[in-house]
Amino acid sequence: MATLKLSNVKKRFGKTEVIHGVDIDIADGEFIVIVGPSGCGKSTLLRMVAGLETVTGGDIEISGKRVNDLEPMDRDIAMVFQNYALYPHMNVFDNISYGLKIAKVPKDEIASRVATAAKMLQLEDYLLRKPRELSGGQRQRVAMGRAIVRKPAVFLFDEPLSNLDAKLRVQMRLEIKALQKELGITSVYVTHDQVEAMTLADRMIVMHDGVADQIGAPLEVYANPATQFVAGFIGSPA
Ligand code: ADP
Ligand code: MG
């Protein structure tokens, strides 16, 4: 169970402000998609939530607790990236369980969590394989598995499917959505792909030059764009 709240969140790199005060209130179990063109600040915003970038203005709260100054490890968050950075020399089981070993989770607990995740992700028959012996979709599932076994309060996804071909992207998109619903984990998903945003989101946030132009259910945003930018961006899929 977790809520996520951003209040007037800002980010400055040197003298340049790239996030200009974003407010988002995310309900427990909600799947939020942040969509916008390259360079608008999506990754920076997500990295601040993860604790990988400092926050230079405003507050980030998880379940009512201010986390601005917490280390990434202490935020109860798991992040899935576009370059999922599996360890090439480790098999699937070891890749999925690596974080749990570091956290000193007992061995039998690790085995049972990996088994559950592998079943959900259809990786049961691949646990002893190395990443190079897997397809792109399977590698992406391993990255998902690594996030799932940690049982985080919040999932963050940064363009996790953009390295996959179009057909696989559609399939994995559906899998991620089904999995998120099954687990009920509050999720923030970043993409530049309008169709992906429309398909996945409970609510979507359309970002433009460091500002959240509009927040709403996909069809609501599509039917009633709040700005000229939203009208153009959501109305004309790439
Ligand atoms: P997106 O993920 O939407 O493509 P980013 O969050 O990566 O956008 O980048 C937003 C803006 O912040 C861009 O102008 C980018 O150049 C700038 N930026 C991102 N990271 C840094 C950094 N470490 N130092 C300076 N500028 C950065
Ligand atoms: Mg990005």
pLDDT digits (tens, 9 = 90+) for 165-186: 888 889 889 989 988 988 899 9
Percent of the chain exceeding pLDDT 90 equals 78
- Check pocket membership of 52 for ligand 1, CB cut-off 6 A: no
Residue 208's CB is within 10 A of a number of other CB atoms, namely: 18
Q: Which ligand is nearest to the CA of 36?
A: 1
- Check pocket membership of 18 for ligand 1, CB cut-off 6 A: yes
Predicted-assembly ipTM surpassing the 0.90 threshold: yes
Q: What is the DSSP letter of 227?
A: S
- Check pocket membership of 199 for ligand 1, CB cut-off 6 A: no
Return the pLDDT at 168.
85
Return the pLDDT at 155.
95
- Check pocket membership of 42 for ligand 1, CB cut-off 6 A: yes
Return the pLDDT at 237.
52
pTM of the model: 0.93
Return the pLDDT at 221.
96
**How far, in Å, is the centroid of ligand 1 from the Cα of 27?**
27
Residue 174's CB is within 10 A of a number of other CB atoms, namely: 12
Q: What is the maximum alpha-carbon separation in the chain?
A: 55
CB distance 67 to 60 below 8 Å: yes
- Check pocket membership of 38 for ligand 1, CB cut-off 6 A: yes
Q: Which ligand is nearest to the CA of 53?
A: 1
Q: Which residues pair with 16 in a beta bridge?
A: 13
- Check pocket membership of 43 for ligand 1, CB cut-off 6 A: yes
Report the atom number in ligand 1 closest to the C-alpha of 192: 3
With a cut of 70, which residues of the chain have pLDDT below it? 236-238
**How far, in Å, is the centroid of ligand 2 from the Cα of 47?**
10
- What residue owns the CA closest to ligand 1's atom 10? 41
Q: Which residues pair with 11 in a beta bridge?
A: 19
